[in-house]
């Protein structure tokens, strides 16, 4: 079945360094790849997304890259700050029709040390 693998499961960086989280997906029909940030006790929040017809997208300190041939996509956070500490999830669309179903990776706990 459809699957999304996410690595690493935990990531610790110094404030100001960059952080990279990688995901691979199995469904070649997937065409939408969002990233969510989840803070303690809250629901996940969308931080950036990318469609399959785009190779890279940036929003201030956050960027996402997509390699459709290799079926992997990555989240890049530059100049990390303590408030970036959270759990990050990647996801990929799956299923026929426009049901909007997403399959999620296992999550990455990012710790940014001051």
Partner 1 sequence: DAGITQSPRHKVTETGTPVTLRCHQTENHRYMYWYRQDPGHGLRLIHYSYGVKDTDKGEVSDGYSVSRSKTEDFLLTLESATSSQTSVYFCAISESIGYTFGSGTRLTVV
Sign of CA dihedral 7, 11, 14, 16: positive
3-state secondary structure string, 34-93?
EEEEECCCCCCEEEEEEECCCCEEEECCEEEEEECCCCEEEEEECCCCHHHCEEEEEEEE
| Preceding amide of 8 cis, omega within 30 | yes
**Binding string to partner 1 for residues 82 to 101, with x set by CB under 8 A, is what?**
-------x-x-x----xxxx
Q: Which two structure tokens, joined as six digits, stand for 32?
A: 């939408």
CB of 1 to partner 1, least distance (A): 7
Q: Across-strand partners of 41?
A: none
Among 10, 18, 46, 54, binds partner 1 (CB under 8 A): 46
Q: Counting contacts by CB under 8 A, is residue 40 touching partner 1? A: no
14, 40, 42, 96: which one binds partner 1 (CB under 8 A): 42
- Check binding of 114 to partner 1 (CB under 8 A): no
Choose between 28 and 99: whose C-beta lies nearer to partner 1. 99
Is 49 near partner 1 (CB under 8 A)?
yes
| DSSP for residue 22 | E
Q: Looking at beta carbons only, is 78 or 95 nearer to partner 1?
A: 95
Footprint of partner 1 (CB under 8 A):
1, 4, 6, 32, 34, 36, 41-46, 49, 89, 91, 93, 98-107
């Amino acid at each position: 079945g459809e699957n999304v693998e996410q690595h690493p499961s935990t990531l610790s960086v110094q404030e100001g360094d960059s952080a990279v989280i990688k995901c691979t997906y199995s469904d070649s029909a997937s065409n939408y790849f969002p990233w969510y940030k989840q803070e303690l006790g809250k629901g996940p929040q969308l931080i950036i997304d990318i469609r399959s017809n785009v190779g890279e997208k940036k929003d201030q300190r956050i960027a996402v890259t997509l390699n459709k041939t290799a079926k992997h996509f990555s989240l890049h956070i530059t100049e990390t700050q303590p408030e970036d500490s959270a759990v990050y999830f990647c996801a990929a669309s799956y299923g026929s029709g426009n049901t909007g179903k997403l399959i999620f990776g296992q999550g990455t706990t990012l710790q940014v040390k001051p």
